[in-house]
Amino acid sequence: MPNAKVVFITGLPEKIVEVVSGYTPEGFETEMVRGDAPIDEQIKAVEDVDFILVFGASLDDKVLRAARKVQIVQLLAAGYDTINLRLLRELKIPCCNNGGANSLAVADHAVLLMLTLYKQLLPAVASIREGRWNAPIDGFNTFEIADKLVGVLGIGNIGRQVARRVQGFDARVQYYDLFPLTDERERELGVKRVPIDELFRTSDIVTCHTPLTPDTYHMANRERIGIMKPTAVLINTSRGAVVDEQALIEALREGRIAGAGLDVFEKEPVAADNPLLSMENVAVTPHSAGTTWDTWFRRAEFAYRNIKGVWEGEPPMAVAQDYDIAN
């Protein structure tokens, strides 16, 4: 049997590319193509390959149409909102995400944002550097996660990891998902399924972990943000457009919710004049929740295991939901 060919279309640094491609199985070949390479170069690269591996790059429709032999498009990321799933469906090419390989990193980051807000971490650091010892801490504005009700919006790989982590802080967990868990799985995880409006109305912390699809676009909308507790905080480490950003800005300005922790924005890179960046009750990071050194090994291992399995006749794993992604 001839070698299977993989093209890795990416914007990653060379060192990480080497780590990922180092997982190429025996009998396979991996060629790297930069994600900013001319479309003609990308088309030529995919014309005779069996698999496309992607991270940090979008795939032009012309490139997808040229991939006549490709058996799957394998993502190293969890999200698939930059991929034209409708076209891939027409071409009968499955698109697979990373199978939860970055779930630990993103879950850690979600809890980090919760604690950053609850413990007034950023104002406290700033006050020390400015010579104002303990100035932001007044005894009324710092909190514990213990006994709080955490609402998990999306209970997939990442959402389940977040549930486990906050339970370690003695929080209670409720969730909403378009595809609910079984009763048995809910009991195992110790989580309660609730309607989405109840989740927003009753949670002390709402944390978003759903993929971006037409059904989840602005799922945290003006009405739902409007029924949150004034003491509640909203965390988003999923995709920016899951949250109506303008509605969130208004709620924060008017003090209708206590704060927000955001790793993602509706437009990225986020504009320097975005009001969220200047709010003291907002903690922001640059879409970095899933990026740790540890994740690359899990991402690569899963990706090539999936590719090898498909090559050997097994069904693909972690196939992206069959949605047309919202613009």
Supply the residues annotated as catalytic. 239, 268, 287
Instruction: Give the single-character DSSP code of 81.
Output: T
For residue 190, what are its two tokens? Answer: 């110790």
Q: How far apart (Å, rounded) are the C-alpha atoms in residues 150 and 205? A: 5
Strand pairing report for 4-10 and 51-55: parallel
Q: How far apart (Å, rounded) are the C-alpha atoms in residues 41 and 185? A: 47
Q: How far apart (Å, rounded) are the C-alpha atoms in residues 93 and 66? A: 12
Instruction: Give the single-character DSSP code of 316.
Output: P
Q: How far apart (Å, rounded) are the C-alpha atoms in residues 22 and 16? A: 10
- 17 neighbors 30 (Cβ within 8 angstroms): no
Strand pairing report for 4-10 and 72-75: unpaired
For residue 118, what are its two tokens? Answer: 């609850």
Q: What is the CA radius of gyration of the chain?
A: 21
223, with CB counted inside 10 A (0-12, 13-18, 19+), is exposed
Q: How far apart (Å, rounded) are the C-alpha atoms in residues 251 and 248? A: 5
DSSP string, 247-292: HHHHHHHTTSSSEEEES--SSSSPPTT-GGGG-TTEEE--S-TT--
